[in-house]
Each structure stands twice: as structure tokens, then as C-alpha cells.
Amino acid sequence: MLVILLSGPAARESFLKPANLQNLSRQIALLSVFAIGETFVIIAGGIDLSVGSLIAFSGVMTGLLTVNMGLPLAVALPVVLVVSALVGVVHAVLISRLTLQPFVATLGTMCILRGVALLLTDSL
């Protein structure tokens, strides 16, 4: 519907350019992967509020490992994946062993991850 509304003469000059449509497709594809993962969590009866903060933290950590520490991307990505998996393990322990509500557990880790990402980038 939005494409139809924006398909007027003025939109053809900017919005409907192939480069813009390709950029939009790439952004939508990335968000779709995250949304599909979150859909499985919701279908299973849980909720995960920390997804966005974990994505931001992973991006910051990848940048720090590759740019500041000079690690090749082939080394940095597995390290980031392991750290992200450890966050998932922490969630599992908090929810299943300590019987915290998923909302509370993921809200807490969301705040922690966002704070650590801000600290690592000196954005506070």
C-alpha cells in the first residue's frame, strides 16, 4: 500500500530508484531474521526484550575486536557468537533454574547489555 501511495511522479525520482529499493530490501531482510527468531520465542510462550540490546552489543563488540584490537573478522565473529550464546545461557539459567519470569530476566539483561555497549563506545 505504501509503495502505491509513493509511486507518484515525485517518488519515481527518489523512492523508486533501484539503489533505494535494494537498500530497503537489505534492511528488511535483516530485521526479518530477528523477527522470525522472536516469533518462535513468543509462540513458545516466552518473551525476550533483550534482542535489540544484544544486537547492538554484538555490533559494538565486533567493531572493537576488528578495529581496535586488529583481529580478523574470521576470528572476531566466532568470539561474538560465543558471547551471544552465553547471554542465552544466562537467560536459560535465570528463567529455568532460578524461576524468574522471562519478562524480568530479559529486561534486566537488556539494561545490562545496553549499558555495557554504551560504556564500550564512551557514549555515556
Q: State residue 87's pLDDT score.
A: 95
pLDDT, tens only, 87-124: 999 999 999 999 999 999 999 999 999 999 999 998 87
Task: Indicate if the pLDDT at residue 1 is higher than 70.
Answer: no
- Range in 10-14, 31-35, 65-69 with the lowest mean pLDDT: 10-14
How far apart (Å, rounded) are the C-alpha atoms in residues 80 and 61?
A: 7
Label residue 122 left, alpha or beta by phi (over 0 means left) and psi (-120 to 50 means alpha).
Answer: left
- Residue 56 pLDDT more than 70? yes
DSSP for 32-88? HHHHHHHHHHHHTT---TTHHHHHHHHHHHHHIIIIIS---HHHHHHHHHHHHHHHH
The pLDDT tens digits of the residues spanning 70-90 come to 999 999 999 999 999 999 999
Is 96:53 a contact under the CB 8 Å cutoff? no
What is the distance between the alpha carbons of residues 111 and 116, in angstroms, rounded to a whole number?
9
